[in-house]
Amino acid sequence: MRFAQIEQFIAIVEAGSIRGAARLLGLSQPALTRSLQQLEQDLGVQLLQRTLRGIALTAAGASFLARARVVDAEMRKAADEARRTVAAAGSLLSIALSPVAATLLLPELVLELRARHPDSRFRIMEMAPSAVLPLVRDEVADIGVTQRTRAGLDAGLRFKSLFEIQMRVAARPDHPLCACRDLIDLADAAWLAMTVPESTEDIVSLSYAQRGLPAPVPTVHCGSYSVSLDMVAAGDFVTVLPPNLLRNWIEAGRLAEIALDRPLLPLLVGSYMRADTPPTALSYSATQTIAAIARRHNRSDWLRNNRPLTMGRASTSS
């Protein structure tokens, strides 16, 4: 999915027809039709249906439109801020990271870059995994660090693998499901997802699909790690977390690991850059620093192993 497709979808809705939108956008009607069809194919739903008066939103289309307008406004705001910052003195590097990547790279990445490039400026954006790649494609971010998707890599992007992470299932320590040892037992749990609704690229959905099981529908979607963690610690939710973050919350007595006998699929996290844009000295330095931090993490197997983070499995049961 490209940001341009979102813009074009909004234009079609506002114009009331593909023909009217094509005229406003300066595109041919067939090209706009293909863009809409590709967007619907990417999402796996029909967004619009033709009527005698033009086009009408489907239920899925109305739901998508509300979020598309938010994304459109945020992307325009981000682009304006980026342009204003570039106009200021000094070079600027924009890095978009998924929450998992941020927990592994920050604050070390920024501290090392500041030490090496004291006259440069840095813009760090923590985003939902699905929002990182559009920012790189549309030149809002110079570097994106997020999970690798199942879809084929966009020809306009370069990917470099950094981490393979064994994500963990977490809940509050006295949660009634803490003794569960299999994903099947968690199918009806109140899952809290830190991904966008309807995503099939999250590690929970992929892990259920790999076993031929239907993925649970999350009860709550939340884009904030801090808010999500508080809700899981206080409620009946279960979620997935990287081991480094979960260990801290276990030590604080606020969360416990649901230690599965058959672990989730590993999460592959890497860096993305535009393939057609030569790296600047600053962006090259950043990619080298990111790779060095990744190598330090990868020297041990703490990210990849499936050993329980608690003192013992019995300690996670109520």
pLDDT digits (tens, 9 = 90+) for 274-286: 998 888 889 999 9
Q: Where are the alpha helices (DSSP H) in 152-280?
A: 203-210, 225-234, 243-251
> Tokens at residue 21, please?
């939108």
How many angstroms separate the CA atoms of 180 and 103, rounded? Answer: 27
Mean pLDDT, residues 235-259 taken together: 95
Confidence of residue 91 (pLDDT cuts 50, 70, 90): confident
Which pLDDT value is given to residue 25?
A: 87
How many angstroms separate the CA atoms of 175 and 205, rounded? Answer: 22
The domains located in the chain, with CATH, are 3-69 (1.10.10.10), 93-318 (3.40.190.290)
Confidence of residue 88 (pLDDT cuts 50, 70, 90): very low
Return the SS3 of 297.
Answer: helix
**With 50 as the cut, is the pLDDT of residue 304 above it?**
yes
Which pLDDT value is given to residue 84?
A: 65
Confidence of residue 199 (pLDDT cuts 50, 70, 90): low
Which pLDDT value is given to residue 96?
A: 96
How many angstroms separate the CA atoms of 242 and 165, rounded? Answer: 7
Beta bridge mates, 144: 96, 272
How many angstroms separate the CA atoms of 141 and 129, rounded? Answer: 14
**With 50 as the cut, is the pLDDT of residue 265 above it?**
yes
Residue with tokens 């992929």: 206
Determine which of 138-142, 186-190, 256-260, 307-311 has the lowest per-residue pLDDT on average.
307-311
**With 50 as the cut, is the pLDDT of residue 135 above it?**
yes
Of 116, 154, 112, 100, whose CA–CA distance to 291 is shortest?
A: 112
Which pLDDT value is given to residue 151?
A: 56
Nearby residues of 105 by Cβ (< 8 Å), 6 or more positions away: 97, 145, 290, 293
Which pLDDT value is given to residue 50?
A: 83
**With 50 as the cut, is the pLDDT of residue 90 above it?**
no
Under 8 Å between Cβ of 98 and 147? yes
Cis peptide before 107 (omega within 30 of 0): yes
**With 60 as the cut, is the pLDDT of residue 318 above it?**
no
Confidence of residue 89 (pLDDT cuts 50, 70, 90): very low
Q: CA dist 80 to 85, 97, 172, 228, Å?
A: 9, 19, 41, 29
Determine which of 52-61, 100-109, 193-202, 238-247 has the lowest per-residue pLDDT on average.
193-202
How many angstroms separate the CA atoms of 105 and 110, rounded? Answer: 8
Beta bridge mates, 48: 57
Amino acid at 69: R
**With 50 as the cut, is the pLDDT of residue 159 above it?**
yes
Q: What is the mean pLDDT of the chain?
A: 88
Which pLDDT value is given to residue 311?
A: 45
- Helix (H) or strand (E) holding 129, with range, is helix 129-137
Q: What are phi and psi of 189, to 5 degrees?
A: -70, 160
Does 315 or 104 have the greater pLDDT score? 104
* pLDDT cut 90: percent of the chain above it: 53
Of 84, 102, 100, whose CA–CA distance to 92 is shortest?
A: 84
Cis peptide before 99 (omega within 30 of 0): no
Q: CA-based angle 35:94:102, to the nearest 5? A: 95
Residue 179 Cα to chain centre, angstroms:
29
Q: CA dist 90 to 77, 123, 273, Å?
A: 21, 13, 21
How many angstroms separate the CA atoms of 253 and 247, rounded? Answer: 10
Which pLDDT value is given to residue 313?
A: 38
Which pLDDT value is given to residue 148?
A: 85
Which pLDDT value is given to residue 314?
A: 34
pLDDT one-digit tens code per residue, 54-83? 788 999 989 999 888 888 888 888 877 776
Confidence of residue 85 (pLDDT cuts 50, 70, 90): low
Under 8 Å between Cβ of 216 and 191? yes
> Tokens at residue 213, please?
């099981």
User: What pTM was computed for the model?
Assistant: 0.66
Does 84 or 194 have the greater pLDDT score? 194
Q: CA dist 247 to 99, 109, 148, 251, 282, Å?
A: 16, 21, 24, 6, 33
Confidence of residue 101 (pLDDT cuts 50, 70, 90): very high
Determine which of 17-21, 124-128, 200-204, 311-315 has the lowest per-residue pLDDT on average.
311-315
Length of the chain measured in residues:
318
